[in-house]
Structure 1
Amino acid sequence: MAIVLHTPEVDGLGAAVKALREWQSDDAPTQLHPGDVGWFWRFGAAATAAALRTWSRDGRVLAVGLLDGPALLRLTVAPDARLDEELAWRLVQDLKGGVLPAGKVFVEVPPGVLVRELLFQDGWHDDEPWTPLRLDLATPVRDPGVRIEVVGPGQAHLWSLVLRASFDRSTFTDERWQAMATGSPFADARCLVAFDEQGDAVAVATVWSAGTGKPGVLEPVGVHRDQRGRGYGRGITLAAAAALRDLGSSSAVVCTPSANVGAVATYASAGFERLPERLDLSRGLWGPTAS
């Protein structure tokens, strides 16, 4: 059977999320996670469906890509299809054929997947380095040292406020929290907020489980810009890891640009182990109009 590229409808999002859940493993490299789709869901179900691409053979999903912005495709492949030549060549051709626009574009793909090697052969090159970090959750997580609450709809405004104060260009709103909470991945997610001794909210995080015995992810994690350097980043990270353990996750994973040395140091201070750096791939000219 031929491989079919598909952009799912809203009612077809479940198949892509289900595949991503099944592919998560502590033995696999850090890869696109159902929580990444859940976090994108803040833009609404229709936008999430429009941003997803799936590649299937005989009705089975073999690869999932998320257009996390107009020029970045975050791509992962089923464990038993990582070296599938037909799939790899089809992915290369579809990236040429319009999945990504013309101009400089980027692809995130795990190491050990054949399509990565073929993209190098086709003129792609290494780009921004990222540092994945992992915490094993076989044993209890140490106390975060700050008061933590799980956020529901009634506190969405507080969570949103702290997130906006954590990232200079954040456009997050209460409405986006509500949209995110309607997504199917949110059933296995928790939004957390940390408070200082005066009762002010100082840090936030969302954790996403992929199911019992599978790695969960932290996305996003933020500390209010006026509260940095006081240990709240470590505190919210520990609380996030503990929440994932309560959800049955085998490990907690986070990935941050290597250039963000403060974030890397914060996660390391919470006991997360640094894994080998990951490199995005990029190409300067790409798409239907590229020569």
Structure 2
Amino acid sequence: MAVFDREMSILLGTPGAGDLDEVVRALVEWRQEGASMQLHSGDVGFYWQFGPEVTAAALRTWSREGRILGVGLVDGPELVRLAIAPEASKDEELARQMADDVTRPERGVLSAGKAHVEALWGGRFRELLQEDGWELDEPWIPMVRDLSGPVAGSGLRVEVVGPERVDDRVAVHRGAFAGSKFSVERWRAMAAGTPYADARCLVGYNDQGDAVAATTVWSAGPGKPGLLEPLGVHSDHQGHGYGRAIAGAAAAALRDMGSSSATVCAEGSNAGAVATYRSAGFQPQPEVRDLRRVG
């Protein structure tokens, strides 16, 4: 793992492909029921579609004495998505170093000019960025479904994706997200990644046998919150309740995998998505906001 040594004890690093399992283990360990939503191992798992080398190059770690305390996924030159160890939320040194690193382009996290930081927990790091002129961005609505009780059937025939259903999984994704370049090859790369060992892709079929909806669910292990990322309904089949059905099926799959809850974060401006998840038993939590720097 390449690290950038400075006088402070917090070290910023970029992992190599051989370090990815260590980063994923940290993200899994940090998932706790009731904690703020943040970068999930499933987010890294979905990014793995680009291959382990590219995934590693997009990650940043902040460590003290060899222990990872923060992880960032650089999702393009203008966005970094962050997570920190729960006990580090009030760590002043970590907060200051992370704020310095995401603000200064020479640190290799974000480019100069317009930028976004997804750091959805409260604490000193956000305070420091706002003191430096970063502004609150558009709201997100965390949605949570408790999985302590049974999950009713979705009313949609849902199949777990294996090699024989990858074409359907890809077709639904591309039909749901305009401009997507998701492909069979990218699915295979994602499925070969470490996080996918605790994940499932689901495809829903209507009464005519058409693949109409799909999602990927990511477990962080028994007793921890799981994640839906992504979830979509093919544009040719929207408006029939298939989004609610596949969200319910996702919750059922995560319960089968031992997850304590199913979580997803919807854009506050996307009232349809929020309503869909609510209809599937997901409860909205207080809104959270990214931070942005205007270029």
TM-score range, shorter chain: over 0.9
Match in the other structure for 2:163: 153
Q: Does 1:22 align with 2:24?
A: no
Structure-2 residue corresponding to 1:182: 192
| Aligned-partner residue type, residue 121 of structure 2 | P
Output the CA distance in 1 between the equivalents of 2:68 and 2:122.
Answer: 19
Aligned residue for 2:78? 71
3-state SS of 1:4 partner:
strand
* Cα separation, 2, equivalents of 1:108 and 1:29: 12
What's the counterpart of residue 138 of structure 2? 128
Is the 1:163–1:172 contact (alpha carbons within 8 Å) kept by the matching residues of 2?
yes
Paired residues in the alignment total 285
Contact 2:120 2:290 in 1 (8 A): no
Kindly state the Cα deviation for residue 128 of structure 1 after the two structures are TM-superposed.
1.7
Q: Deviations over 1:196-244 (max 9, x none)?
A: 0011111000000000000000001010111111111111000000000
Which of 48, 54, 68 pairs up with 1:47?
54
Deviation at residue 273 of structure 1 after TM alignment: 0.1
Residue identity in the other structure for 1:216: G
Deviations 1:109-134 (A, max 9, x none): 02323101111101101012111100
Q: What's the secondary structure of 2:44's corresponding residue?
A: helix
Displacement of 1:68: 1.6
* Structure 1 ranges of 4+ moved more than 3 A: none
Could you list the per-position Cα deviations for residues 98-154 of structure 1 after superposition, in whole angstroms to 9, with x for gaps in the alignment? 210011000010232310111110110101211110000000111100101000122
Q: Deviations for 1:246-276, whole angstroms, at most 9, x for unmatched residues?
A: 1100000011211111111100000100011
Partner residue, 2:92: 85
Secondary structure of the residue aligned to 2:104 is helix
Q: Judge conservation of contact 2:38–2:121 (CA < 8 Å) in 1.
A: no
Counterpart of 1:95 (choices 94, 102, 105) is 102
Describe the superposition over 1:127-183 as per-residue Cα deviations: whole angstroms up to 9, x where unpaired: 121111000000011110010100012211110011100111211111110110011
Contact 1:77 1:113 in 2 (8 A): no
Deviation at 1:76, TM superposition (A): 1.4
Q: Does structure 2 conserve the Cα–Cα contact (< 8 Å) formed by 1:127 and 1:280?
A: yes
**Distance in structure 1 (CA, Å) of the matches to 2:271 and 2:209:** 29
User: Which of structures 1 and 2 has the larger relative contact order (alpha carbons within 8 angstroms, sep 6+)?
Assistant: 1
Gaps of 5+ in 2: 1-7
- Find the aligned partners of 1:220 and 1:264 in 2 and give their Cα distance: 14
Per-residue deviation, 1:17: 0.6
Residue pair 2:104, 2:112 contacting (<8 A) in 1 also: no
Aligned AA for 2:69? Answer: L
TM-superposed CA distance for 1:55, in Å, is 0.3
1:178 alignment partner AA:
R
2:4: which partner in 1? none
TM superposition score normalised by structure 2: 0.95
Name the structure 2 match of 1:119: 129
SS at match of 1:116: helix
Give me the whole-angstrom Cα distance separating, in 1, the residues matched to 2:34 and 2:199: 22
2:198 alignment partner AA: D
SS at match of 1:169: coil
1:70 Cα deviation from its structure 2 partner: 1.9
Give 3-state SS (helix, strand or coil) of 2:68's partner. Answer: strand
Please tell me the residue identity of whatever aligns with 2:264: V
- Is 1:32 equivalent to 2:39 in the alignment? yes
Residues in 2 aligned to 1:278 and 1:69: alpha-carbon distance in whole angstroms: 21
The unaligned stretches of length 5 or more in structure 1 are: 286-291
Q: Is the 2:219–2:225 contact (alpha carbons within 8 Å) kept by the matching residues of 1?
A: yes
Q: Distance in 2 between matches of 1:180 and 1:59?
A: 28
Counterpart-to-counterpart distance in 2, 1:103 and 1:121 = 17
Structure 2 CA distance, aligned partners of 1:112 and 1:232?
35
Give the secondary structure class of the aligned counterpart of 1:69: coil
Per-residue CA deviation, residues 68-117 of structure 1 (Å, 9 max, x unaligned), is 22211101111111100110110111112321001100001023231011
Matches of residues 167-178 of structure 1 in structure 2 within 5 Å? 167-178=177-188
Q: Percent identity?
A: 58
Q: Structure 1 residue aligned with 2:270, among 260, 265, 276?
A: 260
